[in-house]
Amino acid sequence: MNLVIAKPENITPAERDPRWTALVNRDPAFDGKFVYSVKTTGVYCRPTCPSRLAKPENIAFHADCAEAESAGFRPCLRCRPNEASLAERHAAIVAEACRLIEASEELPALDALAQSVGMSPYHFHRLFKSVTGLTPKAYGAAHRARRVRDQLAEGKSSVTEAIYDAGFNSSSRFYETSNKVLGMTPSAFRAGGIEAEIKFAVGQCSLGAILVATSRKGVCAILLGDDPDQLVRDLQDRFPKAKLIGGDAEFEKLVAKVVGFVEAPAIGLDLPLDVRGTAFQERVWQALRNIPAGETVSYSDIAARIGAPKAVRAVAQACAANKIAVAIPCHRVVRNDGGLSGYRWGVERKRALLGRERG
Ligand SMILES: [Zn+2]
């Protein structure tokens, strides 16, 4: 058997660089994070360039295109590192489709939407779903539901008028879907959820006091804090018209389940969530739920994933408006430089949660 021992002096600086692994794997997660140049060809590439990988002794890493160009390298014509990445182009297509859906009285047909962004219906549907977490149809429904919700909340129109104004062409069709999108029927919503009963209980977990609340649809709040009374007041503020009912012994089991989940988020929570937000917030929250435990992303990553790359501030606001701690893991969003940034339930709790998930 021949053993080849790699002597330290045989390992090139490129191979010693942590970015080398990303390069060898052509890891798309690093697209846009750095570029690399090849001495022998004079070009620089994205980490995902499909060209054959050059010898490591000819490779150097650069933070961005400007750095590579000032070192005298030209952009590769194959991976076009100086142009928008595939992910960015995809995000722009989805954002365009979202605008078309939002501007239409009735949901445009899939074929028409796909055509207007220059894709086949099949690929467009898949792309839209992968970026937003929703089908174009569900996105349209959520958007129209939000319009109904806004109008009802403003008290400007009757339930029927609000439904027609929002582009549902028959109220029966709206009522069929309203329970899904509003979490309750429109008249109950108009009354500020007065008929909605919310059960809750406060317990203790390693992060301090925890309040768990459920509607008939599922878990509608998980709040964390130091003071149990403050948590109950917070719940009342978030659901001002709901009738709050203290949980019974049966409910304690559910709370125990949620506490177990908060202690070890990687195990997942197999309870339905009752998520109530604007169409935009719901897109952000859905994107948050796609971040696996142990990983973090930036606010701009989330903005790009939901097809609204410029809406970084609105993404941060949607994270702050989250009512369901840990199950909608807004703690996995950090600043672009990796800094923790704020957390509704205290930055120390965020640090503890992330530390725990990193294992
Ligand atoms: Zn290239």
Domains 86-133 and 279-358 share a fold: yes
Determine the number of helices (DSSP H) and then strands (DSSP E) in the chain: 16, 10
Measured in degrees and rounded to the nearest 5, phi and psi for residue 222 equal -130, 110
Kindly report the number of other CB atoms within 10 A of residue 128's CB atom. Answer: 28
Ligand 1 center to 26 CA (angstroms): 11
Q: Which CATH class is domain 86-133?
A: mainly alpha
Predicted local confidence at residue 170, as pLDDT: 44
- Spatial CA neighbour of 30 closest among 43, 46, 42: 46
C-beta separation of 178 from 170 below 8 A: no
Rounded distance, CA 192 to CA 188, Å?
7
What pLDDT score was predicted for residue 158?
54
Residue in 288, 298, 299, 358 with CA at minimum distance from that of residue 326 = 288
Burial class (CB in 10 A: 0-12, 13-18, 19+), 239: buried
Whole-number Å distance, alpha carbon 311 to ligand 1 midpoint, is 30
Question: Which of 86, 87, 49, 81 lies closest to 68, judged by CA?
Answer: 81
CA torsion angle 278 146 127 52 (round to 10): -20
Q: Three-state DSSP class for 230?
A: helix
CB burial of residue 147 (10 Å; 0-12, 13-18, 19+): middle
- Residue 164 is predicted with a pLDDT of 53
Q: Which positions are annotated as active-site residues?
A: 45, 330
pLDDT of residue 171: 44
Residue matched to tokens 């467009």 = 124
Residues in the chain: 359
Of 324, 106, 122, the C-alpha closest to 215 is 324
CATH number of 197-267: 3.30.160.70
Which 3 state secondary structure label does DSSP give 310?
Answer: coil
The span from the CA of 341 to the CA of 347, in Å, is 8
Would you list which residues are annotated within the binding site?
Answer: 45, 49, 76, 79
How many whole angstroms from 37 Cα to the centroid of ligand 1? 9
pLDDT of residue 242: 79
Range 10-75 classified under CATH 3.30.2010.10: no
Structure tokens at 158: 């009757």
Q: Residue 358 corresponds to which tokens in the numbers above?
A: 């990193």
C-beta of residue 38 within 8 angstroms of C-beta of residue 69: no
- 59 CA distance to ligand 1 middle (Å): 13
Q: Where are the beta strands (DSSP E) in the chain?
A: 35-38, 43-45, 59-62, 74-75, 197-205, 208-214, 219-225, 243-246, 297-298, 333-334
Dist. CA 15–CA 35, nearest whole Å: 15
Q: What does each of the 359 residues of the chain score in pLDDT, given as a tens digit?
A: 445 455 556 788 888 888 999 999 888 888 888 999 999 999 999 999 988 999 999 999 999 999 999 999 999 988 889 887 777 778 778 888 888 888 887 788 999 999 988 889 999 999 888 777 778 887 887 777 667 666 665 655 555 555 555 554 444 444 444 444 444 455 555 544 444 788 888 888 888 888 999 988 889 999 999 888 888 888 888 887 777 888 777 787 788 888 888 877 777 787 888 887 888 888 899 899 989 888 899 999 999 999 888 888 889 889 988 999 999 999 999 987 778 877 888 889 999 999 888 76
DSSP letter at 94 equals H
Domains of the chain, by residue range, sit at: 10-75, 86-133, 138-190, 197-267, 279-358
State in Å: Cα 51 to ligand 1 middle.
Answer: 6
CATH label, 279-358, candidates 1.10.10.10, 3.40.720.10, 3.40.50.200, 3.40.50.10800: 1.10.10.10
C-alpha span between 239 and 229 (Å, rounded): 16
User: Which residues, by Cβ under 5 Å, contact ligand 1, an ion?
Assistant: 45, 49, 51, 76, 78-79
- Alpha-carbon distance of 139 to 274, in angstroms, equals 17
Q: What is the pLDDT of residue 227?
A: 83
Whole-number Å distance, alpha carbon 298 to ligand 1 midpoint, is 26
Q: Binding site residues for Zn(2+), as ranges? A: 45, 49, 76, 79
d(CA 10, CA 13): 9
Structure tokens at 2: 């021949």
Specify the pTM: 0.49
Residue 301 CA to ligand 1 centre (angstroms): 23
